[in-house]
Amino acid sequence: MDTQGTITGRYLNLPVRNGAPKHWVRLLIEGEMVREFEIELAEGEPDFWAFIDVSPHIGSSFSLEAEGLPEGLPGFASVRQSDSIEEAQDLYRERYRPQFHFSSRRGWNNDPNGLVYYQGEYHLFYQHNPFGVKWGNMHWGHAISRDLVHWVELDDALAPDRLGQMWSGSAVVDWNNSAGFQRGEEKALIAIYTAAGGWTPSSKGQPFTQCLAYSTDRGRSWTKYAGNPALGHLMGGNRDPKVIWYEPARQWVMALYLDPPKGQPNYALLGSPDLKRWTRLCEVILPCGECPDFFELPVDGSQANRKWVYWGADGHYLVGSFDGQTFTSETEPLRSYAGTAYAAQTFSDIPESDGRRIQIAWLRGDLPGMPFNQQMTFPVELTLRTTEDGIRLFSYPAKEIELLWARTQHWEGIELPSGERVLEEVTGDLLDITAQFHLGDARRVGLVLRGVRVTYDARTAELSCHGHSVRLPAGNRRIRLRVLVDRASVEIFADDGRAYLPVAVIPAGDSQPLAAFAERGSARIEELVAHELRAAWK
């Protein structure tokens, strides 16, 4: 079955019903396929409306073709053209919409991709299914921000093609025009991504390869490299290229997940002068798969003592050295975060005058009944610090969270006899709380945030929340917690970021007051600061 006409509005709105039969649909503009996607097309009242921005094609002829769709099915006939997104009156105000964690307007999101800074803007790309609230149809969604807090979502940057779906990768600014894509004064932004062959009908039989796309207008439009793939298939589902510029050797370096046979190195580093010709440099072994990152940081802030970090999707990392050819690990595999975070990536090209290494992860957790699903962690700053256990990675909220601070309350010397103490003055549903505990003789201490318990167990030295835990030694019987509370998450930072426990969880809907507790003994909160936050969405 198909429908056709002339494009007269900015959006094609498509009705989606969760659980309805899936159908492959193709959008053709002037006879050329521009989108191919699978969708649970509503036959009656939709759960939500998906949309495609077709504004570049206004005035052109289009047709929608669907496989296996009976003639006259209402869902296909209900596709609407409009200059607005259907039923967008509650956009960013939905019940479970995160208010200061990024989430897509509609559809599913997972891994952050292509985090890059250019001309005052942070670009966040991400794995996006525009046509459903479950994983699939992988596009590169795109949002920009000037302050890491307020995000503006743009149209999807990359859509599936005959080489496959658009899986994870990275982005860079090509300051030296090494790839030759620059036109005019603007430097080219280049996305390096995995084309996941075999996941669409038109890419049947294609392997996983690494490809390029570029933008010469500050990321507003993207052109795929005519010579794709830039790196052919190596093995298995090789994917998730993270590319950096290594100045001493004047070359690009790619960290790539190999998806190898069991027992072989699971990552590789490759080098290139122009992003188009690649040679293998070395292999890396890390006990996790997917989504590598590779970056250098000073230790304890000293530029004279810098180390390299090789990172994997589940938060495992290695600290070591890199000479342009070989990464040499100097630690056993370590773990940065626990909880429900995954596939974290760091921004490239943040100016040296800033000097920060900023990271965002996918915060896994379903948001039931919403026209969108999943969210990102709040941006964190990464630092390497020397501890009694050696050099470790610390994670702490980016300072820009302060832009959302509204009412602030401060306490000192809160005694906690065994039991719970309610702080009725704090009732907001968006919170940034810092609390320093002296454990006293208590077995457990913690906070209750809109019904969600954050607990530290002094005997096991574990910090836990909603079934997830991380180890945290308590020096001098003291711990310091920083907790961010949103509509669908609780992110916990302990001892200035030595432990990081981000958890996707939906707190109680009502404005329950903040509470602190001690169990099997008494404790004391030496200082507590509670900031109620404003929503980031405008």
Q: Answer whether residue 325 shows pLDDT above 80.
A: yes
Domain count, the chain: 3
* 379 and 422, same domain (yes or no): no
111 as an active site residue: the answer is yes
* pLDDT of 531: 97
The pLDDT tens digits of the residues spanning 378-399 come to: 999 999 999 999 999 999 999 9
State the average pLDDT over residues 248-271. Answer: 95
Residue 124: exposed, middle, or buried by beta-carbon count in 10 A (0-12, 13-18, 19+)? Answer: buried
Residue 272 phi/psi, 5° resolution?
A: -155, 145
Say if residue 410 is exposed, middle or buried (CB neighbours under 10 Å; 0-12, 13-18, 19+): exposed
Residue 376 lies in a domain: yes
pLDDT the model gives residue 72 = 60
Q: Which pLDDT belongs to residue 404?
A: 98
Q: Tokens 């000073």 label which residue?
A: 298
Spot the catalytic one: 2, 47, 83, 111: 111
Query: Pick from 453, 535, 465: which is nearest to 500 by CA?
Result: 465
pLDDT, tens digit, 9 for 90 and up, residues 209-246: 999 999 999 999 999 999 999 999 999 999 999 999 99
pLDDT at 476: 87
Residues 414, 338 within the same domain: no
Q: What is the pLDDT of residue 256?
A: 98
Domain match, 196 and 73 both: no
What is the residue range of 223's domain? 163-397
- As beta bridge partners, residue 209 has 195
d(CA 22, CA 135): 13
Q: Where residue 74 sits, what CATH number does that domain have?
A: 2.60.40
User: Domain of 316: which CATH number?
Assistant: 2.115.10.20
Confidence of residue 74 (pLDDT cuts 50, 70, 90): low
68 has a pLDDT exceeding 80: no
Q: Any bridge partners for residue 299, and if so which? A: 302, 384
Q: What residues are paired with 360 via a beta bridge?
A: 345
- Give the model's pLDDT for residue 533: 97
pTM, two decimal places: 0.96
Say whether both 427 and 359 belong to one domain.
no
Alpha carbon 122 to its chain's center: 13
- Residues 390, 281: one domain? yes
Indicate whether 431 belongs to any domain: yes
**What pLDDT is attached to residue 289?**
87
CATH of the domain at 482: 2.60.120.560
Residue 105: the pLDDT is 97
Are 337 and 448 in a shared domain?
no
Specify the pLDDT at position 265. 87
398-451: pLDDT as tens digits: 999 999 999 999 999 999 999 999 998 888 899 999 999 999 999 999 999 999
Task: Say if 505 falls within a structural domain.
Answer: yes
Classify residue 154: in a domain, yes or no.
no
Choose among 292, 288, 198, 206: nearest CA to 244.
Answer: 292
- Report how far residue 252's alpha carbon sits from residue 179's, in angstroms, rounded to the nearest whole number: 11
CA–chain centroid gap for 265, Å, is: 26
pLDDT of res. 75: 63
Per-residue model confidence (pLDDT) at position 415 = 95
- In this structure, is residue 8 part of a structural domain? yes
Give the H/E segment covering residue 75.
helix 74-77
Quick one: tokens of 52? 């495609």
241 found inside a domain: yes
Among residues 406, 395, 370, 338, the alpha carbon closest in space to that of 103 is found at 370
Q: Are residues 467 and 350 in the same domain?
A: no
Domain boundary residue, one of 82, 106, 136? 82
**Is the domain of 412 the same as that of 488?**
yes
Report whether the peptide linkage leading into residue 21 is cis, meaning its omega lies within 30 degrees of zero: no
pLDDT beyond 80 at 511: no
Does a structural domain hold residue 113? Answer: no
Asked if the model's pLDDT at residue 463 lies above 90, the reply is yes
Examine the domain organization and report whether 379 and 446 are in the same domain.
Answer: no
Domain boundary among 382, 397, 412: 397
Burial-class residue 462 by CB neighbours within 10 Å (0-12, 13-18, 19+).
Answer: middle
Does one domain contain both 214 and 245? Answer: yes
| Residues 220 and 369 placed together within one structural domain of the fold | yes
pLDDT of residue 388: 94
Last-in-domain residue among 370, 397, 424: 397
pLDDT-based confidence at 70, cuts 50/70/90? low
204 and 300, same domain (yes or no):
yes
Domain presence at residue 142: no
Confidence of residue 71 (pLDDT cuts 50, 70, 90): low
Residue 76: is its pLDDT beyond 80?
no
